[in-house]
Amino acid sequence: MDIEPIPLRIAIAGLGNVAQGVLELLRENGSVMATRAGRAIEVAVIASRSRRDVDLLGAEFTTDVLSLTRRQDVDLIVELMGGEGLALELVAQSLAAGRATVTANKAILATHGNRLFDLATQSRAPFGIEASVAGGIPIIAALTRATAASELNCVAGIINGTCNYILSAMSDQGESFESALVKAQALGYAEADPRFDVGGIDAAHKLTILASLAFGVPFDKAAVFTEGITDVTVDDITYARELGYRIKLLGIARRTAAGIEARVHPTLVPQDVMLASVAGVMNAVEVRGNAVSSLLFCGPGAGGKATASAVLADIIAIARGESPSRFSAGTKSCARVPMDLVSTAAYLRIPVIDQPGVFARIATILSEHGISIEGAIQRERAIADRKVPIVVVTQPVPEETMNRALAGLQALTAVVGEIRRIRVEHFDA
């Protein structure tokens, strides 16, 4: 391929790990990228709140982030700052001006994606968002291009590496949640304030984006049911293993006859399902559709270089004259299914007094609500103070039905602590 003599000149906002990864990959693989893009990629200017001791590849440095949109010597703006305030303003101004724009910012997309894609459509500005979900995994390209001929019915997976690392450590090394979190922080996998990750918020942002692109529905983070992993214990992981499952924090978006359901929560996954074997900080996303059956994308979901490779994939696509990410809301409205109407199976860990007939009373209450038991563990001896856990896995029922049954179970005098419920997914074809 002939390489055009005029390079694609880019401006980068931010100088954190991902921006440094972009600079490193341009330094290492710049000639390869130029061949694939049909022109060289040149960093003209970098804007950040503070200068770091990093090789800027000859780029000019400024602390005036919004000045990037006024530059006449820049073809494309790359937003790698994170957060919502200044980053959102920069992306919105860039798109409104018709400037090609690439972002890795899942928060602004989940919250303001409708506005940003409207701006891109109106100004015909190429808009790249590949790096916003699952790091180096090309899941955005898969949803917007590779599976474009298929009607998709489910997108689900492990989309937060911090939670996957913590749950893997709890499962494989028997670590408590607190101990696994401390190790994740020491390794740089978790922030000093980890609530964004372990509370499921990060995964909810990403699932908002995936659901919108897969099903053509508006970006609506409020429609995603969100539950984190802070209440998962080593006991839960041990009981799940005995029953043939592993526990993962999953994001699940599914098209049903009633509409689109979208939820993030800890989930029991059968051990023979591929998602169950994805460990550590790895991410994995399964896509199901009527033309492709089932596809699984797996790889590093975070990290400077992995995410930078997704950023540069968008930049290369734009250099070729392509628009890497397309979003259009469906022509007919599609309802969002409230969590109360979503049907799932459930794992229940019920702390009870060790006395005759307790299991029978539990089974009776479940049966009265039309809930069948698929599997159970009942310890023969109490573990302390005559308390013993009864663990059951149920057949799927609507959430509102399970909630009523749980209220009935919690009211039993033999139940001496809070019942733990974790949802179960079998991913049947």
186-209 burial, b for 16+ CB within 10 Å, e for fewer?
eeebbeeebebbbbbbbbbbbbbb
Chain position carrying tokens 């409205």? 333
Best CA proximity match to 241, nearest among 272, 271, 279, 273: 271
DSSP state of 146: I
The token pair that represents 12 in the structure block? 């980068």
| Four-point Cα dihedral 171, 234, 133, 264, nearest 10 | 140
Contact criterion met (CB below 8 Å) for 230 and 193: no
Q: Taking each helix axis from N to C terminus, what angle separates 234-242 and 161-172, rounded to the nearest 10 degrees?
A: 70
The string of DSSP letters for 157-213 reads EE--HHHHHHHHHHHHS---HHHHHHHHHHTTSS-SSTHHHHTTHHHHHHHHHHHHH
Active site residues: 206
Give the separation between CA 361 and CA 212, rounded to whole angstroms.
Answer: 44
Give the separation between CA 108 and CA 140, rounded to whole angstroms.
Answer: 16
Which amino acid is residue 339, in one-letter code?
A: M
Contact criterion met (CB below 8 Å) for 281 and 261: no
Which amino acid is residue 415, in one-letter code?
A: V
Detail the DSSP E strand segments found in 186-317: 225-226, 245-256, 259-270, 282-289, 293-300
